[in-house]
Each structure stands twice: as structure tokens, then as C-alpha cells.
Chains A and B, each alone.
Chain A
Amino acid sequence: MKQIKKSLPLSCPSCASPLKVTSLACEACDTTVSGSFELPLLARLSADDLQFVIDFVKTSGSLKLMAQQLGLSYPTVRNRLDDIIANIEKIEKNIKIP
């Protein structure tokens, strides 16, 4: 049977507000930690955007190298990064960072 790859839900399916983590579990000893935890900023990005950020870090921030690896043009990759930056700024505005 094909395994379904689950992705972390980022917003409430009912009201679209950002979701928080209320429970964390250790699979080794079955301990559960409960509370209200903010998701890290990068974890709020979509899976594709997060992968792009990881690739960007792995290439030491070289967009030229990323463009080569992805087979895309430099401005396409640059635009993708600019869109992610805009998305991060939007997330920062939406969440109240203490």
C-alpha cells in the first residue's frame, strides 16, 4: 500500500486562523507534553517553500547555483525567493511575536 505523506496543517480549517501546537509526544517512552506552543516561523511555510529555503541554505545562499540545480532561470529563482520573503513578512504581521 502506498504511504501517504502527511503535511503539517498550518491554519484552522474552520476559521483559517494560524494553528498552535498543544501536544507533543515522545514515541520512544510514550511521554506526552501538553501546553500551548507557537509554531516556529519557518514551520509555518508551505512544504514547497520550506524545501526551497532548505535548498537555499544548502547552496550557501547562491541563487545562481540553485538555478543551475533546479534547471530554472536566475530571475525565476530570485522571484520565488522574493515571494517567500513576502510570505514570511505576512506571517510575521499575522502572528504576535512577544
Chain B
Amino acid sequence: MNTWLLRPFTYIAGGKALLAGWVIMLITSVVAYFSKTHFDGAIDAHIGSTVTPYYIYLLETLIAWGCMVLACYAAAALFARTSFRLIDIAGTLALARAPLLLAALINFAMPARVDPTAIDPMVIVFALICLPVFVWILVLMYQAFSISANLKGNKAVIIFIVTLLVAEVVSKLLMQFTLPLMLS
């Protein structure tokens, strides 16, 4: 059971994981649209009250996942000593985002916000409730990277942290420049 929760990629990867991950990402974007949850970064979730078209929620998810895949692929190309496949990185990272569906569902329980930019008690409550979900996602993303690139130990952890930070910055910049263009 623990292996399935924390190391599911021992059993599933590649095309199957990619298909399952995409379906869950699609469902997550729909739930996020209705619960007004923005996944605007490689590992970000924000609650908002502004009216945004559905495709923005889908694009946010795709950009976040795409940036993580590209960053992990580049890291694997630089540091992996053995061969690896893009489809394994893409598939496992897509499935690793599955717990975000929980975060989107949790946001239904949150009352409507007046000021989406303010850090009020509601935001802190949302962050605390979602914390285990994000720890879970981080563990899954690390496992996805580790298994796909066959990197282990401290070296793999350091490479993953740097990769995640790069993906976070790139995804934030991409969203900042592309999403307003799409909305205008």
C-alpha cells in the first residue's frame, strides 16, 4: 500500500502513466475551475475569486507540468549515467500531479474571498490543510525523477531541488507573459 502511495512508478510509468496523468490533470482543471483554485506554478496552488475562463485553468496545469518535464529532462540529460526515456519522465510527472485534485476539492470547503491578493486567515487555513497534499506531491515528483533518470541518494535530491526551483521560476515567468496575452 505504501509503495503504491509513495512509489507508484515502480509499477506504472511511460505511456500508461501519461494517459492516466493527463486524464487526472483534465479532471483537476475542471474541478479547479469550479472551486477557483489556480495551480499557477510547478508546485503552486492559490485560491482566487476572480472570474477566469476555463482554458486558463487548463493552461496553468499544462504549463506547470510541461516546465517540470522539460527541467527534469534537461537535468537527466546532464546527470544521468544511464539511458532514460522522455515518455517515462513525462508520464510519471503527469501522474505525480494527481494529488492536486485533492487540493482543488478541498477549496470547495473554503468560503468565498473578497480580496484574492490578501494573505488572510482563510489563505493560511487552506495552506495548512493542503500542506500534506503538497508534501505528497513533492515525494511523488522526486520518485518520478529518480526512477525515470535512475538517480539516487543525496546527489539526486540536490539535483531534484534545483530542477524544481528552475521549473517553478520558468513556469511563473511563462504564465506571467502568456496568460495575460490570452485573456486580452
Contacts and interface: CB of A to CB of B under 8 A. Distances in A.
Nearest to A73: B13
The binding surface of chain A is classed by DSSP as: helix
Interface of A: 71-76, 78-79, 82, 85
A73 B87 CA distance: 12
B148 interface: yes
A75 B11 contact: no
Contacts of B49: none
Interface string B124-160: 0000000000000000000000011010000000000
Contacts of B30: none
A81 to B, nearest CB: 9
Interface of B: 9-14, 17, 81-85, 88, 92, 147-148, 150
8 contacts: A72-B10, A72-B11, A73-B88, A75-B88, A75-B147, A76-B11, A79-B150, A82-B81
Contact of A73 (B10, B81, B83, B84): B10
Contacts of A72: 10-11
Contact of B82 (A73, A74, A82): A82
A75 B12 contact: no
Contacts of B9: 73, 75-76
Contacts of A75: 9, 13-14, 84-85, 88, 92, 147-148, 150
B150 A74 contact: no
- When A and B form their complex, which 5 residue pairs have the shortest distance between CB atoms, in order from nearest? A73-B13, A82-B82, A79-B150, A75-B88, A76-B10
Contacts of B148: 75
B82 A76 contact: no
A82 B11 contact: no
A72 to B, nearest CB: 6
A75 B85 CA distance: 8
Nearest to B151: A79
Nearest to A79: B150
A73 B14 contact: yes
A70 B83 CA distance: 21
A56 to B, nearest CB: 15
Contacts of A73: 9-14, 17, 88, 147
Contacts of B150: 75, 78-79, 82
B139 to A, nearest CB: 17
Given A73-B17, A74-B14, A78-B82, 15 more contacts: A72-B10, A72-B11, A73-B10, A73-B12, A73-B13, A74-B13, A74-B85, A75-B9, A75-B14, A75-B84, A75-B85, A76-B11, A76-B13, A76-B147, A85-B82
